[in-house]
């Protein structure tokens, strides 16, 4: 006889949370009603249900009525039936293989076929041991290997193990996973460090080393340290670390090239079979703008790979530090957080003001005349020197980041304003939501991985109202509620006819 997916044992699996008086009330009322309808003595019989029936017939009818009323009362006590369902799942083994091109570097042409054959043999062996096997490849992102396409392809330019693990974690959550087999050469060039930054699942991980460990005769630029920003006419440092392997007794030369000319160079002699050399330069910023510098190690005879002898970097040369004016209606944690973040960047000079405690209005006026960018926090609907802030900053033709973070600013946006953004007036309700970057936004090129990072930001707090944006605005980000994506914009960018921008 086939077994059911679950079993109910009566009365052991009944759960009834009822007091003693409730039981007495149910049984007593059922008995009283049955007795009233089918009484036994002659006086009651004349006016009771079942007249003409013999005594045993009225007793039978009364017992049936008592049972029916008792069952109805029992159901009013809201009984529950406890059941247990069993779902057996076979253990799952995860095979995660690094598909970056560095795995096959310095290897034979048949290495790819050998690795695919190893993968097939591993899957067969694990399957024979009673495990289900799921295979994934990763380079810049995770790629499931479906059954019809059993081959890995080692053509990725990146190795981002952190992104692969983050994508894999939801797929294996609450599943019977026996462990992860990770095959990689360990050359991580994107994402967090697998030692310190990767949030590994609480599972066993078996690692398999890939790649060629044979020492070859080679020299390459490992790391370059430099300032992101420099100022016109000033000297700035640059530090390079060059690795040499199998170059004992050989002379090396590093050149720094700017605008096609060699602006600095240094030579050294390698004394060991494996050596790291630190080279330092002081360069002068002679032109403003984003300047390109190329570091190049002169190739030597019989060097294995000359493609890693060059490194390109960019330095932003400014005439002076850019002034950012942070102006708020009152002191607010948002302004403090923005100020701390901007002050950590060398190229910005941050001046913060809150109108409520401003002592000398001339200080703010002077900064507004010098500022390159203004951050306006909760200034909607408020005035300065007799003029609305929106009109005042528009007259100065300054790029402005507008922030509406309180009820007074939201109320001001519900009426006519100079920005072309109007909110509906639906009451004092508020809500929290997350952000989703607009993939069609073309005025800026989003850095790689920023869209995923933005989705993990803490929730935003804002009004329940919907906003109507004029055609001059381009949407930067939409609201997202959990996994529900909307097209309700809450962050936009507008280009003024003069070229200044407003966010």
CATH numbers and ranges of domains, the chain:
6-84 (no CATH), 92-209 (3.40.50.410), 218-318 (2.60.40.10), 322-502 (3.40.50)
CA dihedral 122, 123, 125, 127 (to 10 degrees): 160
CA distance to 261, 273, 307, per residue, from 300 (Å): 21, 15, 12
Whole-angstrom Cα distance, residue 225 to residue 313? 10
State the average pLDDT over residues 226-238: 84
State the average pLDDT over residues 63-75: 83
- Rank 49-53, 440-444, 480-484 by mean pLDDT and report only the highest: 480-484
Sign of the Cα torsion 351, 354, 357, 359 reads positive
Whole-angstrom Cα distance, residue 25 to residue 293? 92
Whole-angstrom Cα distance, residue 97 to residue 142? 10
- pLDDT of 45 above 50: no
Q: How far, rounded to the nearest angstrom, does the alpha carbon of residue 462 sit from its chain's CA centroid?
A: 20
- pLDDT of 219 above 80: yes
- pLDDT of 160 above 50: yes
Beta-bridge mates of residue 18 = none
State yes or no: cis peptide before 163, omega within 30 of 0: no
State the average pLDDT over residues 75-99: 83
Of residues 463 and 400, the one with the higher pLDDT is: 400
State the average pLDDT over residues 222-244: 85
Q: What is the pLDDT of residue 503?
A: 65
Average predicted confidence (pLDDT) for the chain: 81
Q: pTM of this prediction? A: 0.46
State the average pLDDT over residues 59-75: 82
Cβ neighbours of 206 (radius 10 Å): 11
Of residues 229 and 84, the one with the higher pLDDT is: 229
- pLDDT of 122 above 80: yes
Q: What is the pLDDT of residue 42?
A: 44
Q: What share of the chain is helix, strand, coil (3-state, %, to 5)?
A: 25, 35, 40
Question: CB–CB of 479/488 below 8 Å?
Answer: yes
CA dihedral 15, 21, 25, 28 (to 10 degrees): 110
Whole-angstrom Cα distance, residue 211 to residue 105? 7
Question: CB–CB of 335/381 below 8 Å?
Answer: no
Q: What is the pLDDT of residue 442?
A: 73
Q: What is the CA radius of gyration of the chain?
A: 38
Whole-angstrom Cα distance, residue 335 to residue 328? 7
State the average pLDDT over residues 139-161: 81
Of residues 234 and 8, the one with the higher pLDDT is: 234
Q: Which of 431, 410, 436 is nearest to 491 (CA)?
A: 436
Question: CB–CB of 60/38 below 8 Å?
Answer: no
Element (H, E) at 246: none
State the average pLDDT over residues 256-269: 90
Share of the chain above pLDDT 70, in %: 91
Whole-angstrom Cα distance, residue 502 to residue 65? 80
Whole-angstrom Cα distance, residue 178 to residue 205? 9
Cβ neighbours of 470 (radius 10 Å): 11
State the average pLDDT over residues 414-439: 77
State the average pLDDT over residues 451-471: 79
State the average pLDDT over residues 107-132: 88
- pLDDT of 31 above 60: yes
State the average pLDDT over residues 197-204: 84
Of residues 21 and 36, the one with the higher pLDDT is: 21
The model's confidence at residue 59, banded by pLDDT at 50, 70 and 90, is confident
- pLDDT of 443 above 50: yes
Residues with Cβ within 8 Å of residue 306, at least 6 apart in sequence: 299
């Amino acid at each position: 006889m086939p077994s059911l997916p679950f079993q109910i044992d009566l009365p052991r699996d009944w759960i009834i949370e009822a007091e003693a008086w409730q039981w007495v009330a149910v049984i007593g009322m059922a008995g009283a009603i049955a007795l009233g309808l089918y009484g036994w003595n002659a006086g009651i019989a004349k006016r009771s249900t079942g007249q003409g029936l013999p005594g045993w017939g009225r007793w039978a009818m009364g017992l049936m009525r008592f049972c029916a009323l008792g069952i109805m009362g029992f159901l009013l006590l809201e009984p529950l039936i406890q059941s247990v369902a069993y779902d057996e799942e076979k253990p799952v083994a995860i095979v995660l293989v690094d598909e970056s091109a560095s795995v096959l570097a310095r290897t034979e042409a048949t290495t790819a076929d050998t690795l695919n054959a190893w993968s097939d043999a591993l899957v067969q062996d694990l399957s024979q041991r009673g495990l289900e096997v799921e295979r994934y490849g990763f380079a810049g992102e995770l790629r499931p290997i479906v059954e019809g396409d059993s081959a890995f392809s080692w053509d990725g330019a990146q190795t981002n193990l952190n992104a692969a693990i983050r994508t894999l974690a939801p797929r294996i959550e609450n599943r019977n996973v026996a462990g992860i087999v990770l095959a990689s050469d360990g050359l991580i060039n994107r994402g967090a460090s697998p030692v310190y930054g990767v949030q590994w699942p609480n599972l066993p991980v078996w690692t398999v080393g890939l790649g060629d460990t044979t020492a070859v005769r080679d020299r390459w630029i490992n790391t370059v340290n430099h300032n992101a920003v420099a100022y016109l006419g000033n000297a700035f440092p640059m530090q390079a670390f060059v690795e040499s392997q199998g170059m004992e007794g050989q002379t090396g030369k590093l050149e720094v090239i700017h605008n096609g000319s060699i602006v600095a160079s240094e030579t050294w002699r390698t004394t060991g079979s494996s050596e790291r050399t630190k080279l330092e330069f002081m360069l002068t910023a002679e032109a403003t703008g984003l300047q390109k510098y190329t570091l190049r190690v002169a190739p030597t005879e019989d060097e294995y790979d000359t493609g890693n002898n060059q490194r390109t970097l960019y330095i932003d040369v400014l005439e002076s530090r850019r002034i950012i004016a942070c102006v708020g209606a009152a002191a607010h944690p948002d302004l403090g957080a923005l100020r701390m973040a901007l002050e950590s960047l060398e190229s910005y000079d941050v001046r913060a003001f809150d109108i409520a405690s401003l002592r000398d209005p001339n200080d703010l006026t002077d900064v507004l005349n010098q500022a390159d960018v203004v951050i306006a926090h909760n200034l909607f609907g408020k005035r300065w020197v007799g003029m609305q802030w929106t009109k005042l900053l528009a007259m100065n033709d300054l790029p402005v980041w507008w922030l509406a973070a309180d009820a007074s600013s939201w109320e001001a946006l519900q009426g006519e304003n100079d920005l072309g953004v109007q909110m509906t007036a639906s009451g004092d309700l508020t809500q929290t939501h997350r952000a989703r970057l607009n993939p069609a936004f073309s005025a800026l090129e989003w850095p790689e991985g920023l869209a995923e990072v933005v989705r993990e930001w803490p929730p935003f707090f804002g009004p329940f109202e919907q906003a109507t944006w004029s055609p001059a605005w381009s949407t930067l980000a939409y609201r997202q509620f959990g996994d529900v994506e909307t097209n309700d914009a809450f962050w936009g960018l507008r280009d003024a006819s003069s070229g200044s921008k407003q966010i």
